[in-house]
Amino acid sequence: MNWMKCLFVREYQLANRVGGGALIGVLFFLAVVTIFPFGVGPDMILLARIGAAILWIGALLATLLGLDRLFQADREDGSLELLVMSGRPLELVVLVKCAAHWTATGLPLVLATPILSLFVGLDFESIVRVTLTLLVGAPALTLLGAVGAGVTVSMRRGGVLLSILVIPLAIPILIFGVSAAMAGAIDSNNFLVPFMFLCALTLFGLVVGPLAAAAALRVSGD
Amino acid sequence: MNHVDFEVGSGEALIVQGPNGVGKSSLLRVIAGLVAKAKGTIELEGGMPERSVAEHSHYFGHLDALKPLQSVLENLSFWRSFFEAADFGDGKVRESMSEMEALETLGIAHTATLPAGYLSAGQRRRLSVARLLVVPRPVWLLDEPTSALDKASEEVLLGLIADHINAGGLVVAATHLPLNLPNTRYLNLSPVTTESEHMFASDDLDDYFDEDEQGEG
């Protein structure tokens, strides 16, 4: 278990040091969310109605932004070869890398959500709902993106292709996330049903994501 | 590349020779499990049966696997804790070096706290070698091990490889420079790709028609 801790700490540190790009995601999130009121106009009622969707789409794009480097940086410096042949289960390596990546880049997005929610005029209960759905749903985006990152690891301009591959697959997560975030009250069925689906998608991603990404990485050595 | 057969025993080195592009590196990558082999088998006798050949091996390739933002010591400590050590198969327990001992052996102990990005090409290479010293594994797969090293560090590296061989390890090195190592066998890969053209220039040619690539850990 010690090796998993070491890998997590290393990945987390690398993401947070200069050039690691952990904060880039939050800044991009900020940019996407702030641009919407300028485009939509100063209609507070309309903004509040589409606010949850804006936040979710912003979080999705910000998550995708950093994911192309998840395995590519390791491939370029030769670390990936060693990770593959180290004797550690590659699925767990991928899972730990995703966990560290999410802690470094996804968690700041969730923490920034309440503040950015004010920009689109959400009330208190909506803020709680959006933050809660992102907390549960953003890991699913990272895990799904990890599969795309594994598939595109050997491509020079993999980042764009990654987004094109992952965005259609992220639609279910987006649908359940936004519908839970826009539901009436937290204890109502309107909130709980899509929220549970969102939890299920994340759990599903926890199993399928590392398996698929590891399979893609194994054949990337050719 | 086809019809490549060879056998290396523990305490031996196999030097893979041949012109550029003939597949020396590919051969090492196949043994390391990084490239799928089209057919054939690679076996390790006396190792841990539940683990593959790659999991008994250190691969020392062209890339140094260093993170420029982390310090020299952090880089090495990570690989030390991440890699799983492997038995030599003879029941003897091998002491691995500590990180600082390995850095001192390679003459880069003074850089321990510097970010790895500040190192010169030769120093990066030496730091990469240090990984092989801190985790005991019986098989060393070395791809052009002496590139970017000066004469003195080349001597140190050859000494370390010789120590590894004398301790019962197994070395497969791809190179086109002569390496002065004990118990050396040679495998010459020729660019002709028709059948049976890869000559095996070992002292015992009996192994030539063995079906398997074998090694004894």
Of the candidates B63, B82, B60, B25, the one whose C-alpha atom is nearest the C-alpha of residue B157 is: B60
Interface test with A, best of B78, B84, B119 (most A CBs within 10 A): B78
Out of A81, A83, A219, the one facing B61 most closely (by C-beta) is A81
* pLDDT (average), residues A78-105: 92
Of the candidates B163, B175, B191, B47, the one whose C-alpha atom is nearest the C-alpha of residue B105 is: B163
How would you list the strands of the sheet with B57-60, edge to edge? B57-60, B139-143, B170-174, B12-17, B184-188
The mean of the pLDDT values for chain B is 81
Q: What percent of chain B has pLDDT over 70?
A: 86
Closest B-chain CA to A18: B69
Out of B63, B64, B83, the one facing A86 most closely (by C-beta) is B83
Q: Are A90 and A84 in contact (CB under 8 A)?
A: yes
A87:B63 CB<8 A: no
CA B207 to chain centre: 22
Please determine, for residue B208, whether its predicted confidence score (pLDDT) is greater than 70: no
Residue B192, pLDDT score: 62
Interface confidence (ipTM) of the complex: 0.83
Considering only CB atoms, which chain B residues are within 8 Å of A14? 67, 69-70
Considering only CB atoms, which chain B residues are within 8 Å of A10? 67, 70, 74, 78
Q: Which pLDDT band, with edges at 50, 70 and 90, does B151 fall under?
A: confident
pLDDT tens column, A24-48: 889 999 999 999 889 988 888 888 8
Closest B-chain CA to A20: B69
Considering only CB atoms, which chain B residues are within 8 Å of A83? 82
Closest A-chain CA to B82: A3
Of the candidates A210, A170, A144, A211, the one whose C-alpha atom is nearest the C-alpha of residue A56 is: A170
Name the helix (H) or strand (E) containing B13: strand B12-17
Interface test with B, best of A11, A79, A80 (most B CBs within 10 A): A79
Please determine, for residue A122, whether its predicted confidence score (pLDDT) is greater than 70: yes
* DSSP assignment letter at B209: G
Residue A210: CA atoms inside 13 Å, Cβ hemisphere, count? 16
A221:B69 CB<8 A: no
Q: Are A81 and A222 in contact (CB under 8 A)?
A: no
Q: Say which residues have a Cβ less than 8 Å from residue B71's Cβ, sequence separation at least 6.
A: B112, B113, B114, B115, B116
Which chain B residues have any C-beta within 8 angstroms of a chain A C-beta? 29, 32-36, 51, 54-55, 57, 59, 61-67, 69-70, 74, 77-79, 81-84, 86
* pLDDT (average), residues A8-35: 86
Q: What percent of chain A has pLDDT over 90?
A: 63
Burial label, B26 (beta-carbon count in 10 A; 0-12, 13-18, 19+): middle
Considering only CB atoms, which chain B residues are within 8 Å of A3? 81-82, 84
Please determine, for residue A143, whether its predicted confidence score (pLDDT) is greater than 60: yes
Q: Which pLDDT band, with edges at 50, 70 and 90, does A193 fall under?
A: very high
Query: Higher pLDDT residue, B60 or B36?
Result: B60
pLDDT tens column, B40-80: 888 888 777 788 888 889 999 888 889 888 999 999 999 99
Residue B177, pLDDT score: 80
Q: Which pLDDT band, with edges at 50, 70 and 90, does A222 fall under?
A: low
Distance separating alpha carbons of residues B207 and B214, to the nearest angstrom: 10
Distance of residue A42 Cα from the nearest chain B Cα, in angstroms: 45
Out of B54, B77, B79, the one facing A85 most closely (by C-beta) is B54
B77:A6 CB<8 A: yes
Considering only CB atoms, which chain B residues are within 8 Å of A86? 55, 82-84
Please determine, for residue B195, whether its predicted confidence score (pLDDT) is greater than 70: no
